[in-house]
Amino acid sequence: MKSIKRNARRVAAATVASGLLAAGTVALAGAAGASTVQAHATRYSFRTIDNPRDLTFNQLLGINDEGQIVGYFGSGAAGHPNKGYVIPPFSRTFVDENFPGSVQTQVTGENNRGVTVGFWSNTNKGVGMDANFGWVNVHGRFRDVNFPTEGPATPPVDQLLGVNDSDIAVGFFTDSNGNNNGYEYNINTGRYSQVVDPNSPGASLTAAAINDLGQVAGFYTNPATGNTDGFLLSHGHFTDLAVPGASSTSALGVNNFDEVVGVFVPKSNANALEGFTWTPRHGFTIVNDPHGIDTTTINGVNDFGQLVGFYVDANGNTDGLLATPQR
């Protein structure tokens, strides 16, 4: 799969979770090299993908270079639990993937080696009321992953959101002060390490995705503005990502070609969500599913530029989306 990856033409996407996901924020200090936003730099064909077991709520959260997709159905509201699934390449089959003994599970990320990550809950009280625990699945063997902290939130929140081909996973936990703390987890050694903004180490920060170069994308509370901004952390260099004209920006995914994807809220419409891709060369590009204008989130991307995410349709249902670039 590495040979596929190196010869792939580049586009972008990302990784994010919703439903159980606790929103986090972080801070930064370098401007994203873009002062304008392009509406349609790349053309995409869009496809709606929903698990037939629940057509009211689906979110697609990750896609690897083979085209395998991970996600979940169920809103997380009381009586409507999250249930994880995997969609194998070139398949219309939804394979259940849930942490053993869990009441709720989200599958949030995967690599090209068959390793998946996510988080689970032992209750279904309602969004924001359930404890979250991170997990990894290595070829059918599940493992709990929770950052060792003496001051967790109540209820505890710990989520893994992405993983690369070196089996380094990223995620966050929420502390007793309500701040998010990003971290990396080495699946092979069991070692944890924190992910912080080097310019403001105490900022609330969520690590949402990691590529094979070790670059981490996510979002944080910018201490200068108090806004939620996205970021790309590349070997100690922290780049702030804020869509021009946005009140908040969240980076949710990154591929091996420095393409970051995510979602932003425009200042002109506080109720809207718009997807984006970003590269150092071309800056920001808006990407919205044509069936979900002002309700689109781009959550994952592979090295072929395929994007996955979700949108809200005219009936109020949340639908999974797959966007494939047209060359």
139: left (phi over 0), alpha (psi -120 to 50) or beta: left
Please tell me the predicted confidence (pLDDT) of residue 33.
36
Report residue 322 CA to chain centroid gap: 14
Sign of CA dihedral 164, 241, 159, 305: negative
| pLDDT tens column, 229-281 | 999 999 999 999 999 999 999 999 999 999 999 999 999 999 999 999 999 99
Measured at the alpha carbon of residue 90, what is the angle toward residues 85 and 96, in degrees to the nearest 5? 15
Please tell me the predicted confidence (pLDDT) of residue 36.
56
Q: Which residues of the chain have pLDDT under 70?
A: 1-36, 39-41
Distance CA 30, CA 199 (A): 9
- 137, 157 Cβ separation under 8 angstroms: no
Other C-beta atoms closer than 10 Å to the C-beta of 179 total 18
Please tell me the predicted confidence (pLDDT) of residue 39.
61
Distance CA 229, CA 208 (A): 13
Domains in the chain: ranges and CATH: 2-325 (2.120.10.30)
Report residue 211 CA to chain centroid gap: 12
Q: Of 106, 89, 88, whose CA–CA distance to 98 is shortest?
A: 106
The residue whose two tokens read 């689906």 is: 58
Please tell me the predicted confidence (pLDDT) of residue 37.
73
- 298, 309 Cβ separation under 8 angstroms: yes
- 239, 28 Cβ separation under 8 angstroms: yes
Rg (CA), the chain: 18
The residue whose two tokens read 């204008």 is: 293
Spatial neighbors of 144 by CB under 8 A, at least 6 apart, are 133, 134, 135
Please tell me the predicted confidence (pLDDT) of residue 160.
98
What is the SS3 assignment for 262?
strand
Report residue 26 CA to chain centroid gap: 15
Please tell me the predicted confidence (pLDDT) of residue 29.
27
| pLDDT tens column, 237-248 | 999 999 999 999
Q: What is the pTM assigned to this prediction? A: 0.89
Measured at the alpha carbon of residue 82, what is the angle toward residues 184 and 295, in degrees to the nearest 5? 85
Other C-beta atoms closer than 10 Å to the C-beta of 15 total 33
Other C-beta atoms closer than 10 Å to the C-beta of 18 total 23
